[in-house]
Amino acid sequence: MLVTTLVLAALTIVVVSMPFLRFAYRSPAAHVAIGTADGLIAALVAYLVFGRFRRSGSRSNLLLAAALLLLALGNLFLALPTVRATEGTAFPVWTSQLVRLFAAGMMAVAAFTTAGGAVPRRPAILLFTVAGSLLLVVIVAGLLLEGIDPGVDTGLSPETARRPLFVGHPGLHAIQSATMALFAVAAVGFTRLAERYPDPLTLALALATPLTVFASLFYALFSSVLSDYVYVGDLLRLTFYLVLLVGALHEIRSYWEATARAAVLEERRRIARNLHDGLAQELAFVATQARRFLRRGGGSREEVAGMGSAALRALDESRRAIAALKGGADEPLDVALAATAEEVTAREGVRLTLDLESNVRVPPETREELIRIAREALSNAARHGRARSVRLALTAEDGLRMHISDDGTGFDPETVPRGGFGLISMRERAEAIGGTVRVRSARGRGTVVEVALP
């Protein structure tokens, strides 16, 4: 902040001591453009700071968001051509200065407020209540002061001046001086905060606030708020918002990076969970059976078949993990189901019929669970039901429906041992994504597995 202050102080000395140099440019359109840009940037930064408030509940962030929102509304109001073309009224002049005064006061308080608090149930209502109340006060004050001539000539030109133009009502200069002092207090506070919490937005506030301090000083030297001239104060104010914009963009980038890291971590957890629940369990069973066979010198045909089935399931799980790591997270559900079904039925020697609605898009978690349910149902049909053909259907007209039927031997669902045929696993996977599984079967009549999602 010290370097910024010294540079701005030098600029002030040059402008004041060398009035013959041209530091102003006449352009009413540029005033409108600058005011609009200032208002939009202030609104964006207010939204980001409000997001911080929702996460932390910090009163400092609430006050800062309300101050920036107040500045945004004030800048956009002043940018209106109808307001800038107003003549014979003091309302826009007084209102613009009061907006900056109130916003400066709130920023000064925010810079030194560190206490947090519980996030209210409806924080958006709280933000708009604070900013709206302050704006209402400013408007009322502006209307009350309208009868007082601010003494500012909107056609005044800085080009003909040979000294600073201290024009205007003493009250106007008092407001500008108070605004400058409050922004200076805010600059000190944000600099201290940046030393403790050097995040992009706080650093931007610490760097930018001195700019608006000197902008207030130049408005006192030459009140160009509603004039046709773009003066140094206007450019410093615009630079203040541009620095905040840079900080906001860095903040947004940090959010995206954090989101990407969280997504990678969540995907790793999902794969680890699936490997633990599937591959690791099957391999543990194979290892236990192998040790038992070694101790006994062999096993029965059924035990060997069970170990072989567990090994095949572990192989299926490893292939699913490899496929997930290779990508394909954006492919439609019907494409993923078709690939899985063709892989399982080709390995088991079962004829497959597909009736899948095309281009069905679902979240990655939903797609993964449905693929695992389909794999389990198709494997059961071949290995336990001795089916010769299976049919896989998918519709998405009235909710998502997946239908798997086979011509196998079938079974009595009431007599299946607990956890048998993977029915418990299929039901749990369906419930995890908000769906249900219904199994219909009878001995000698095949099996039908229906999965429904709302």
Residue-level pLDDT at 366: 87
Please tell me the least confidently modeled range out of 25-39, 148-162, 166-180: 148-162
User: What's the pLDDT tens digit per position in 46-68?
Assistant: 988 888 887 777 788 888 888 89
Mean pLDDT comparison of 29-33, 96-100, 316-320, 390-394, highest-scoring range: 390-394
- Which tokens hold the place of 390? 């299976």
Helix/strand/coil for 290:
helix
Mean pLDDT, range 171-185, rounded to an integer: 87
Give burial (CB, 10 Å; 0-12/13-18/19+) of 263: exposed
- Distance CA(201)–CA(214), nearest Å, equals 21
Give mean pLDDT, residues 326-338: 75
Q: Which residues of 409-438 are buried (b: 16+ CB within 10 A; e: fewer)?
A: bbbeeeeeeeeebbbebbbebbeebebebe
Cβ atoms of 139 and 132 within 8 Å: the answer is no
- CA distance to 404, 436, 454, per residue, from 431 (Å): 18, 6, 12
Q: Beta-carbon neighbour count of residue 326 at 10 Å?
A: 8
Cβ–Cβ < 8 Å for 92, 78: yes
Q: So what's the pLDDT on residue 252?
A: 86
C-alpha 208/C-alpha 240 separation (Å) is: 5
Residue-wise pLDDT for 388-403, tens only, equals 999 999 998 888 999 9
pLDDT score at 159: 55
Q: How many residues does the chain have?
A: 454
Tell which residue, 107, 120, 118, 111, has the closest CA to residue 69.
107
98 in Cβ contact with 148 (< 8 Å): no
Contacts 24+ apart (CB under 8 A), 416-424: 421/380, 421/384, 422/376, 422/379, 422/380
Residue 301 has a pLDDT of 66
342, 360, 436 from 335: Cα distances, Å: 11, 9, 22
CA distance 452 to 447: 17
Residues whose CB is less than 8 angstroms from the CB of residue 364 and which lie 6 or more positions away in sequence, other chains included: 329
The DSSP secondary structure of 352-366, one letter per residue, reads EEEEE-SS----HHH
Averaged pLDDT of the chain: 77
Q: How many CB atoms lie within 10 A of CB 347?
A: 14
Give the pLDDT mean for 372-396: 88
Highest mean pLDDT among 2-6, 35-39, 85-89, 415-419: 35-39
| 57's tokens | 């509940």
Predicted confidence band at 121 (pLDDT cuts at 50, 70, 90)? very low
Tell me what pLDDT residue 161 has. 44
Arithmetic mean of pLDDT, 70-97: 70
Task: Give the residue from 1, 3, 12, 6 showing the smallest Cα distance to 236.
Answer: 12
Considering only residues 372 and 158, tell me which one the structure prediction assigns the higher pLDDT: 372
- In this prediction, residue 73 carries a pLDDT of 82
Could you give the percent of the chain with pLDDT greater than 70?
A: 67
Rounded to the nearest angstrom, the gap between the alpha carbon of residue 449 and the centroid of all alpha carbons in its chain is: 39
Bridge partner residues of 450 (DSSP): 403, 438
pLDDT at 176 over 60: yes
Q: What is the DSSP letter of 299?
A: -
Supply the pTM of this predicted model. 0.59
Name the pLDDT band for 40 (thresholds 50, 70, 90).
Answer: very high
- In the chain, how long is the greatest CA-to-CA distance? 109
User: Per-residue pLDDT for 342 more than 70?
Assistant: yes
pLDDT-derived band at 419, boundaries 50, 70, 90: very low
Task: Output 134 or 89, whichever has higher pLDDT.
Answer: 134
Mind listing the domains of the chain with CATH numbers? 2-261 (1.20.1070), 263-453 (3.30.565.10)
Exposure letters 123-149 (e unless 16+ CB within 10 A, then b): beebbeebbeebbeebeebbeebbeee
Q: What is the pLDDT of residues 300-321, one digit of tens each?
A: 766 666 676 667 667 666 766 6
Asked if 65 and 123 touch (Cβ cutoff 8 Å), the reply is no
Q: How far apart are CA 272 and CA 222, in angstroms?
A: 66
pLDDT at residue 167 greater than cutoff 50: yes
More confident residue, 346 or 289: 346
Band of residue 345 on the pLDDT scale cut at 50, 70, 90 = confident
